[in-house]
A and B are shown apart, each in its own frame.
Chain A
Amino acid sequence: DGGITQSPKYLFRKEGQNVTLSCEQNLNHDAMYWYRQDPGQGLRLIYYSQIVNDFQKGDIAEGYSVSREKKESFPLTVTSAQKNPTAFYLCASTAGTSGTYNEQFFGPGTRLTVL
């Protein structure tokens, strides 16, 4: 079945540690996105990538980093510079890169908790 997988489902981090959240899609989509979701704040865009080896900062990129070495993979690293990383993280993808709209498909999410 085609879709987006995120791992792990739950992640615990000690303060000062970097952690990497995995996002893999087998939909052959070009664009991928990372969102952060906090209670009462909806979804906020962290980073997005329209094509392999290229990515752009979203609205809240500070303290995060990404890479896009393969079309199907878009890992997100939460660095120690992120002051309040406890949140729910969602990965999404769309088929197109320009022109017409394409639906965003979402993974099941990763819940990150800083201890």
Chain B
Amino acid sequence: AQTVTQSQPEMSVQEAETVTLSCTYDTSENNYYLFWYKQPPSRQMILVIRQEAYKQQNATENRFSVNFQKAAKSFSLKISDSQLGDTAMYFCAGSRANRKLIWGLGTSLAVNP
């Protein structure tokens, strides 16, 4: 069975600072994919970043980067230079190749001016 755990229900950060959101993904599979999705107040779900488990290099998308520690089953999201528009729910999710996604419960992030 696969499980995704987000241990931080709520977080806050000051504008322009850096924040890290935690996620653990427990699976016995060797080939899988991990994702961070963002859901702003509009409730539109948006993919932020994804990581293939077989890749050693951590994924980066502009101000968003991940720290993937495969042995520790850890998949954290770092947001640099936080902006007010980053205020949202952030969901971690994992899947095997094109199988259904397993979702964490989410972390509510507030960026304060």
Contacts and interface: CB of A to CB of B under 8 A. Distances in A.
A96 interface: yes
B47 A41 contact: no
A113 interface: no
Contact of A99 (B97, B101, B106): B97
Nearest to B105: A42
A42 B106 contact: yes
Interface of A: 31, 33, 40-45, 48, 58, 88, 90, 92, 94, 96-104, 106, 108-109
B103 interface: yes
B33 interface: yes
Interface of B: 33, 35, 42-47, 50, 52, 91, 95, 97-98, 100-101, 103-106
Given A42-B91, A43-B103, A101 B45 contact: no
A113 to B, nearest CB: 15
A33 B43 contact: no
Contacts of A98: 97-98
Contacts of A103: 35, 47, 50
A41 B44 contact: no
Nearest to A44: B103
Contacts of B100: 33, 45, 48, 58
B97 A40 contact: no
B97 A43 contact: no
A105 B50 CA distance: 13
A102 B98 contact: yes
Contact of A109 (B33, B35, B44, B50): B44
Contacts of A108: 42-44
B97 A42 contact: no
A45 B103 CA distance: 9
Given A33-B100, A98-B98, A40 B105 contact: yes
A62 B44 CA distance: 26
Nearest to B32: A101
